[in-house]
Structure 1
Amino acid sequence: MLKKHGTARRLALLTAATATAVLLTAGPAVAHVEVEADNAQALAENVKLTFVAESESADAGITELRVVLPEGIAPADVAYDGGPEGWKFSARDDGYVVKGPAVKVGEGAEHSVVIRQLPDAKELAFKTLQTYSDGRIDRWIQLGEPSGDGHGNEAPALDLKAAAPGAKPVSPSPSKTPSESPSPTPTTSETSPSPAARAKEKDEDSGMSAGAWIGIGAAVLVVVGGAVYLVRRRAGAQQ
């Protein structure tokens, strides 16, 4: 009988020790951001990416996700597909932001975008900043292997299959920023001077204006008329 009690006691102690070890070695719940694609293949077109950001806060809800796009995907190549109720999408120079009213405390935030074409790569990493209603920011930006404690801040990554045979990059998307309007091309009537303008230019090129020539002509007439008058007067006096 004593032997049975001793065995039961040792089992109870072993169970308690094991439970204590598990509690001491267990870290906090690993939260992170994940990304999935409906067609994770290099050079695939119109691919839907879904991001799921898990919550790490017990006091505040997620209000914003800022995603930095990897090389080969331009902000103009991204179209918003959907997210939490009331959230809005806006492009940035290096990626995009989705934000809006805080989701319920403790719940994750999921949104999706459509990529015009995935680049020719083996893996894509999307650095993500996750903001909460109390101002806290989780930075999921670590690249490469996760830290040894299993609780690193690695960026969500997407593994891509090799491109399909014959797949080629599409032409770049036009910028969403409106370009400046080109100056209108002058018409023939705008570039050709009018007859009056040509006459004026001719007068200016000759060195004198039309008014100056008229004045000179009038003076010559006066001199000639005076000379004729003097000649006639002398002739009458001699008679």
Structure 2
Amino acid sequence: MPKRFVLRAGAIVAASALVLVGAASSASAHVTLSSPDAKPGGYAKLIFRVPTESGNTSTTKLVVSLPKDLPFAHVGAQVKDGWKVEKKTEKLAAPVKVGDVTLTQAITTITWTATAGGIPPNDFDEFALSVGKIPEGVDALSFPTDQTYSDGEVAKWADVAKDGADEPEHPAPTLKLAAAITPVAATTSSDAKDSSDPLARWLAGAGLLVGLLGLAFGLRPRKVAPVAASGEAGTPDSGKAQS
């Protein structure tokens, strides 16, 4: 194989690898959302992971929008050193009942603004909310987020992915809600119990029989070696005969 062909093939493979790595880095660099305890009907901690994609600018502001059609009765924002946090409350178009509370207004946006350097280039930080109650009967909640850089550029993470479609270029941070799992009672039916009992009794009987056989063999008397008869060498009678 010509040396030139080998070098050209190697260059193509290396370039392809760099393109793939760059694409993977870009795809994983958007603002993401996770929660360690979110479940329908409960309270949850929401964690927004914010990377600074730029190589020469910092992230200086983050604005998270909360669902207006499914508002939260409680919203608490994480207090962070080097950041100022603000909550914006709006009047709802119509009252919304959340659990035992009927809301006519709700917190709709949370804004963190850097008071120091912000998130440096190629680094990331996390911002947390405590919210509740999580609405029931929904599979996911989206939180459109604006990320502002130190040069004034604003990245809007607001596109909601459609079912079966590829991930959009600027996806909104989305909280996936797993369906509640009904625990299975740790009981068996009478039929299963009846069918398993004979087998259990048979196995117990077989084990007992094996144990008894082992005990019988263990207690069997051992054979005793015969005692030497009188008159043999080494006995008193043999000594008298020699005298």
Partner in structure 2 of residue 66 of structure 1:
63
Partner in structure 1 of residue 83 of structure 2:
87
Partner in structure 2 of residue 43 of structure 1:
41
| Structure 1 residue ranges, 4+ long, deviating more than 6 angstroms after superposition | none
RMSD (Å) for aligned C-alpha atoms: 2.7
Contact 1:33 1:140 in 2 (8 A): yes
Work out the CA distance in 2 between the residues paired with 1:82 and 1:138: 23
Structure 2 residue corresponding to 1:34, chosen from 32, 35, 43: 32
Structure 2 residue corresponding to 1:118, chosen from 122, 125, 134: 134
State the Cα deviation string for residues 43-80 of structure 1 (Å, max 9, x = none).
122x1111001112222211111011123233x52101
TM-score normalized with structure 1 length: 0.57
Question: Structure 1, unaligned stretches of length 5 or more?
Answer: 1-5, 166-239
Shift of 1:164: 7.3
Work out the CA distance in 2 between the residues paired with 1:48 and 1:125: 15
1:96 aligns with 2:110: yes
Work out the CA distance in 1 between the residues paired with 2:41 and 2:60: 32
Partner in structure 1 of residue 210 of structure 2:
none
Secondary structure of 1:29 counterpart: helix
The change in CA–CA distance for 1:115 and 1:130 in structure 2 (over 3 A counts) is same
Residues paired across the two proteins, number: 156
Partner in structure 1 of residue 171 of structure 2:
154
The sequence identity of aligned pairs, in percent, is 26
By percentage of residues, which structure has more strand? 2
Partner in structure 2 of residue 56 of structure 1:
53
Question: Structure 2, unaligned stretches of length 5 or more?
Answer: 91-107, 183-243
State the Cα deviation string for residues 89-120 of structure 1 (Å, max 9, x = none).
21113221111232223322311110121111
Q: What letter is aligned with 2:87?
A: A
TM-score normalized with structure 2 length: 0.56
Partner in structure 2 of residue 139 of structure 1:
156
Q: What letter is aligned with 1:57?
A: S
Contact 1:43 1:117 in 2 (8 A): yes
